[in-house]
Chain A
């Protein structure tokens, strides 16, 4: 089980085995990157942020409380680093606001998904997520890709429960609208 493996590797790293930290990089780099890129919308920035997050996690591993999952703790570091980076560097962020009737969008979206061609539309999903607002894209990814419940999203992002719910609601609406428009 992943949780047990996490604990074993945490013990190894804390006892001085730096190479044991490779396990965490291998296991969590992709989701960490996915989270960072949803906030920053920029590949190389996201990669830098995830690397910094790993180094920070290594340095602060002794402060990690075992009652939480390592993934939750690490993704929180990624989110904090990414938001810090976003505040520092507000360059060229292409974010689109969706237009039109949201009720109508839902009907059209559901029809489109029925004829969804998986192979052709992989790039489309990526485009839609890039056009979404950072926090909405983040919450959407955490909920649907990471399968995180609201409580875990609260812990990862530091947002309040009601804030997460509002963001998730808006994220669904904008995802549908942007999926139709792009």
Chain B
């Protein structure tokens, strides 16, 4: 295979992988606190639609507009997460059902589509978008130049975020407490950690990051709004957390691997290479997710998995 194609796939893989990194990190933090959030797809769509709305309807310097759009997407995502948090943490509705309800509420035939129509922003190209930055002037280096040193600010921010989450989880006291809440909420509670507060905060951060992942679609990847444009990326992000064994470093690798699967079809198609039907390439990330999930549940992997022990179980002090 031509090396140009390999580079093109890798460049595109970073693009498709970035929303997975963001939403995946958010889901990872929520699950580490013991809250399974199946609303990611809906939260991403809400982030995507509000970010695009703000970027279309505010006037000002591009950097400021984009910053506002990014913040709006995080607010929208965490607003959806707040619904999930109230239902599953306070009222103790089953987390699976509650998360699915959020995705249906906000999803492709729900609120994100409604707002897209009420705000009248569908089908037009965006006025503002994130563009590649020539980082350290290294853009023209062979191979790594186009892949690493000419990304947009969003991508660089996601890399910083990965390091921040790694540091937070393994090197700070709140990170330690977070892991304690996820593993054994009763013991954490006895230590004086506020379990409910930890779960709320991390579910909301998870929603904000999912919203951010959605915003990447409408502000950087392809600045246009169509119903359901995240096309299952939210679900892949949830799966990534599982086969990254709840570790941020593995999650990033997984996200870019799935970025490659997603990038393969479009890249080959634009170059007129049609060995396999386009539907095969479209289905590839989903097929690979099933295979990866199966592989992650074999007995070899089971000995290494770090599933938070209290994942999916509501915590209550007052009942046994």
**Do they bind each other?**
no
